[in-house]
Amino acid sequence: MEKKGQMKVYTRVITGDIETPVTVFKKYVGDKVGLLLESRDNKKGRYSFIAKNPFRRLKSYGDEYELDGEKIKKDGKKFMEIVEGYIKEYPLEDEESVYIGGAYGTIGYDMVREYEKLLDENPDNIGTPDSDLMFFKEGIVFDHFHQNLIFTVIEESDREGKLKADVKFMEMEKTLENDLDMKLDPKKERGLEGGLKGNITKEEFMKNVEKAQKYIYEGDVFQVVLSQRWEMETREKSFDLYRKLRITNPSPYLFYINFGDYQIAGSSPEMLVEVKGNKIYTCPIAGTRRRGTSPEEDRILAEDLINDEKEAAEHVMLVDLARNDVGKVSKIDSVEVTQFMKVQNYSHVMHLVSLVEGEKKEKETNFSVLSSILPAGTLSGAPKVRAMEIIEELEKNRRGIYGGAVGYFSYGGNMDTCIAIRTMVIKNEKVYLQAGAGITGDSVPENEYEECRNKIGALVSALNS
């Protein structure tokens, strides 16, 4: 890994008032490898990011990693250390402009095996990498506030670099002149085959809840998050599924990533961890009710959620776990809970949400911060390691992307990741969905099964629309 010379972010701004992130993606990326990152959150929602032409792809498989198709032994290195080395190739520490540049993709749940000794006997029936990151240094940023498109290119800060950037800007502008057919195919022509098929029956899941409760009663854990997976055959275009999902379930984290051999489309409500400058943020979400059919029913359900002792106890425990995870990589006395147990509404469910912040220690990196927090307690349980051991025992398949992270590591030193929930994995004309529920001693097995079904409701609506 050779560190580049002084690099610069070149930008060109054009008016984008007749475009949307979806139309820009369709024109600029189309069916090629690339991504679209959006948000329907007031704080995060100003910018959407569209990128194609990754110049590097880095994947993790157990004790090997794959660099642009070549398998290489890790030889004791952690994957995140390898990623960090490639991020350092492009030093942009003082860059403050909005741009596309860095590693974008997934850090799967199973990456935790690099840090914890867990059983590894469950089959992987989807076949995605443990982690899959694409490196970009060009793309289009959609500024919703000013209705502008910001073309961004990273090149060397010399005359030749500027000329290269200008050529790419012209190519970007030309692609936006393309005409589009934006129609969504009628359902009868899309080839949805049959219904959802679960990897576990309702009865088996309920028995697993009881087994988990036995561990809780015996004092092994306070909580375990058990999940189940569904799959459905489809010939529908993966980006069309994303378009429907972003309509049926607008969320703080909306993403579509086409890796070429598979795609993911998600509408996650939950941050895993964000680092901006030296500030660390994580946002535990625990406690769920379905949405009401009217504002009044919403109010009643929200009040019931806040007053539910089981849900409150679970939420407090997971906030404490988040504080502990952030505390490992934060300066002493810098960790605080800045929002606690607020009810937040989403399209199909409502959740209890808190926000934990800390100030990063000088010796820590974004990658050590991520490793400290992954997987979130809301997707594993507490204590975390023992909960993950029980998950390995009771679940049938490797989790893969589910419960891990989707996001980016920028060349300028920032990181933003969400938890891979409310996410479709599309591969070989099959779409995979997964959801979990936090099991405690007070859990009612049938209710926990229904909570999983409620959580995939938005995904099912998108599939069936």
The residues carrying an active-site annotation are 351, 378, 402, 422, 438
- At 135, the amino acid letter reads F
Alpha carbon 100 to its chain centroid, in Å, reads: 17
Contact 104, 408 (CB under 8 A): yes
Q: What DSSP element (H or E) covers 394?
A: helix 384-394
Question: What residues contact residue 169 under an 8 Å CB cut-off, 6+ apart?
Answer: 10, 12, 151, 153
* Cα distance between residue 398 and residue 395, in whole Å: 8
* Cα distance between residue 389 and residue 465, in whole Å: 38
Contact 278, 359 (CB under 8 A): yes
CA–CA–CA angle 232, 237, 242 (5° rounding): 85
DSSP label at residue 403: T
CB atoms within 10 A of CB 159: 8
- Three-state secondary-structure class, residue 48: strand
From 21, 58, 47, select the one nearest 36 (Cα to Cα). 21
Question: What residues does 140 pair with on adjacent strands?
Answer: 50, 151
